[in-house]
Structure 1
């Protein structure tokens, strides 16, 4: 995995202090901690309903001492912001091409030398969507890694890490259980998030 702001020693320490202070001043509470067995893992990032989710996610990642990477549409990685997006942990995804993103992501996770958490929003978009994409699920299954149920709740100003979930391979049953867990959280634009 490429170097990011989270793996740059002095910068990451300074930004952790800034993130903790900013979240506290903004009234947000950070909950949970990353268990040792989830140093390599796939994160569900839900609800994902606003552009504000990215900065809050980055602040929370610093506060929780994570090593996150996230996937974003290729267009946001174009000049002049491409280098910055990669430094923030971004991995460009070309949605117009049919490629085996699941296998490539699983291979990258397994090949990484140190801790790495791949953050994937199950909706795949900030817009309202009825069906969750299952890419995060199949990445975890293929890589044989746990899923961390990370959350952001705007009304209560909570951000954190929920329980670990080990996928069984029964995607329908597992997705139903995961969605039940997320029923308690609301995004910034709550009407755009469905857990059904």
Structure 2
């Protein structure tokens, strides 16, 4: 029911189109760019539900306050402490290796502002866990 509603809203009502050229494996890093607005999160969640996917995502820890924190975690959110060195890439790679399914969406800009260089954490997670990187562009 939710999937049908999300498909209708995203593809019919909002007029979005998708071009996916590969099947989604059980484990992958989804590299999504550009990330220019908080609306990207809304559209990403709509897409995830329309396609019947469950994909975790990284989000700065400041968003994980009550009551949003538990909601974001339930949706698959993983808080990121950007000011600390927490071995996050190693931890995520180890989690990927331990699980039968691992799907993680990362916006490589690391911010909604225009940047010249992408952060490379998604690449190192994929390299350490031998995961494919799926490139998604949002226009």
The TM-score normalised by the length of structure 2 is: 0.92
Is 1:130 aligned to 2:113, yes or no? no
Is 1:88 aligned to 2:79, yes or no? no
* Structural RMSD (CA): 1.4
* 1:118 match: 104
The TM-score normalised by the length of structure 1 is: 0.67
Greater relative CO, 1 or 2 (CA 8 Å, sep 6+) = 2
- Which of 4, 13, 16 is the equivalent residue of 1:28? 16
Matches within 5 A, 1:19-168: 19-23=6-10, 24-32=12-20, 35=23, 38-113=25-100, 115-153=101-139
SS in 1 for 2:37: coil
- Structure 1: tracts of 5 or more residues without a match: 1-13, 154-196
| Counterpart-to-counterpart distance in 2, 1:34 and 1:62 | 18
CA offsets per residue over residues 140-189 of structure 1, 9 Å max, x none?
Answer: 00000100111211xxxxxxxxxxxxxxxxxxxxxxxxxxxxxxxxxxxx
Detail structure 1 runs of 4+ shifted over 4 Å in the superposition.
none
| Counterpart-to-counterpart distance in 1, 2:15 and 2:123 | 32
Is the 2:7–2:51 contact (alpha carbons within 8 Å) kept by the matching residues of 1?
no
Equivalences, count: 138
- Structure 2: tracts of 5 or more residues without a match: none
| Counterpart-to-counterpart distance in 1, 2:43 and 2:76 | 14
Is the 1:42–1:136 contact (alpha carbons within 8 Å) kept by the matching residues of 2?
yes
SS in 2 for 1:30: coil
Is the 1:41–1:145 contact (alpha carbons within 8 Å) kept by the matching residues of 2?
yes
| Counterpart-to-counterpart distance in 2, 1:32 and 1:74 | 31
